[in-house]
Amino acid sequence: MSKSSSKRASAAQDRLELIQSRVIVERDSVSSISSSDFPFHTSNRYSNIDFLEKIRKKLRVSIEKKSQYDMEFDLIGVDASIANALRRIMIAEVPTLAIEKVFVYDNTSIVQDEVLAHRLGLIPIKANPDEFDFKLSTEHPTDQNTIVFKLKQECKRNPKTAANETDPKKLYLNHNALIWEPKGDQADRFKDSQIRPVHQDILVAQMRPGQKIELEAHCEKGCGKEHAKWSPVATASYRLMPEIILKEEITGDLAIKFASCFTPGVVEVKDENVDGKTIEVAKVVNPRIDMVSREVLRHKEFEDKLELNLREF
Amino acid sequence: MDDTDDNSNIGDELSDSDVEVNDILNFHTEKGAIKDPQSVTFNITGEDHTLGNALRYMIIQNPEVEYCGYSIPHPSEDKLNIRIQTTENTTAVDALRKGLEDLKALCAKVTEIFYKANKDFDEINNLS
């Protein structure tokens, strides 16, 4: 094989690997979008290698951020179809408990019964769904499939406030309205993990002095695909990791222009000492937060200086 | 294959160990599709893109599978069609079974690695 043809072959091999592992972002198009990670797509890639064994070696999870209600992690080594399945399962198929039936005994507030019932349904309930059964429509409520909350409130003026007080929290007395009423063996089963609304300060209804609400609310187990109130997540999403490859150094005023093409924080301009002179050099520091606006590809001066990809797995 | 048997439940030809999977997914083959064991369209009730796309991806990793695609024929119908065509070395039913088992194994692996990463993160950051 001649030198040039082997060079061409290796360039073709590089291109093939790029297509198989990246979504390629270009000025006027986005190519190589669908996954080509399967046998015989190009050649007999791994017919002798066990697929699961291959995935096991590559699979990695790294947690980037975590707080009480938030989490961000990288899932490396699987296709988007698996990541999307996980996302959809979190939104629609992970069961939780939510108020499903409301028995209104008294409601003289301005909020209609059905609106009130809907608002109650959306309140997240802190209870372990594993401890409960799904309640079939033919079944009666039991301590195994239902949690009962009572709400009995009358809006009253607080006589101890100053005459010129305007803050409704000080003016009126009615807070923490949803009270859990244990049924059967629930008081014993959940003595270590009190059942309650996740947030105690969710506004259910605004009332005027003299108005009353008295009701009983039954929580049932369900899934997000039936009603969003059962969805355990506020939202769950995934995106492909952006990849910005600089083919050559970008310096001086161009570096500042280059940095301004990306989401702030993606590219930083750093001072570097070259031959006793200080020059500004653009460095890609955090491609994760880039929104892939493709602004940089609009400018001719950057045309051959970078490659913009999204990592497929 | 019996010509009149064109809408049979796939459970008829599976062994006892498959009953569990069959019960959960509640699938049957589309009319007329069973005549050729190498090319079958499976119909699964109560599943959507969540399973469809992930399962399709797992099935095409099998080198004996020549074609696999899925569709939701109508958004108002709670139905999922999966078409599988294989080589002579296997059958579509076996390819589907392998796909489901691989998906299960992959999910187990993801779970294991995720919990480990979570535990390590908590230890490094002194969370409990």
Q: Is residue A140 part of a domain?
A: yes
Same domain, A102 and A194: yes
Tell me the one-letter amino acid at A5. Answer: S
Last residue of a domain, one of A195, A230, A265: A230
CATH number of the domain bearing residue A268? 3.30.1360
**Domain of residue B103, residue span:** 10-124
User: Residue A185's CB: how many other CB atoms inside 10 A?
Assistant: 10
Q: Which of A59, A63, A73 sits opposite B109 (nearest CB)?
A: A59
CA distance linking residue A263 with residue B80, whole number of Å: 40
pLDDT digits (tens, 9 = 90+) for A56-87: 788 999 999 999 999 999 999 888 999 999 99
Tell me the one-letter amino acid at A140. Answer: H
CATH number of the domain bearing residue B39? 3.30.1360.10
B116 CB neighbours in chain A (<8 A) are: 61
Residue B18 has pLDDT above 50, yes or no: no
Phi, psi (deg, nearest 5) at residue A71: -155, 145
Same domain, A161 and A109: yes
Same domain, A189 and A250: no
Same domain, A190 and A256: no
Beta-carbon separation of A66 and B57 below 8 A: no
CATH number of the domain bearing residue A210? 2.170.120.12
A85 CB neighbours in chain B (<8 A) are: 50-51, 53-54
Residue A274 has pLDDT above 60, yes or no: yes
Whether the full predicted model's pTM is greater than 0.90, yes or no, is no
Instruction: Give CB contacts under 8 A, 24+ apart, made by A156-162.
Output: A156/A209, A157/A209
Whether the CB-CB separation of A23 and A33 falls below 8 Å is answered with yes
Query: CA separation (Å) from A137 to A147, A225, A303, B45?
Result: 16, 17, 63, 20
Would you state the pLDDT for residue A2? Answer: 64
Would you state the pLDDT for residue A5? Answer: 78
Same domain, A107 and A49: no
Last residue of a domain, one of A230, A251, A279: A230
Question: Treating both helix axes as pointing N-terminal to C-terminal, what angle do B92-124 and A51-58 enclose, rounded to 10 degrees?
Answer: 10
Residue B67 has pLDDT above 50, yes or no: yes
Same domain, A201 and A106: yes
Last residue of a domain, one of A196, A230, A264: A230
Higher pLDDT, B20 or A8: A8
Q: How far is CA A4 from the centre of its chain?
A: 49
Q: Which stretch of A110-124, A193-207, B58-72, B83-97 has the lowest confidence by average pLDDT?
A: A193-207
**CA nearest B118: which of A65, A87, A59, A81?**
A65
Same domain, A244 and A219: no
Residues within 8 A of B (CB atoms), A 63-92 only = 63, 66, 73, 75, 78-79, 81-82, 84-86, 88-89, 92
Q: Is residue A281 part of a domain?
A: yes
The whole-number average pLDDT for the span B26-31 is 58
Buried b (16+ CB within 10 A) or exposed e, B29-41: bbeebbeeebbbb
Would you state the pLDDT for residue A48? Answer: 53
Beta-carbon separation of B54 and A40 below 8 A: no
Q: How confident is the model at residue B29 (pLDDT cuts 50, 70, 90)?
A: low
**Domain of residue A280, residue span:** 3-58+239-311
Would you state the pLDDT for residue B16? Answer: 42
Beta-carbon separation of A75 and B105 below 8 A: no
In chain A, % of residues over pLDDT 70: 94
Q: Say what the ipTM of the complex is.
A: 0.84
Number of domains in chain A: 2
Q: Does A42 touch chain B (CB under 8 A)?
A: no
Q: Is residue A80 part of a domain?
A: no
The whole-number average pLDDT for the span A12-17 is 81
Residue B120 has pLDDT above 90, yes or no: yes
Residue B14 has pLDDT above 50, yes or no: no
CA dihedral for A5, A8, A13, A19, sign (positive or negative) = negative
CA distance linking residue B64 with residue B85, whole number of Å: 9
Q: Is residue B4 part of a domain?
A: no
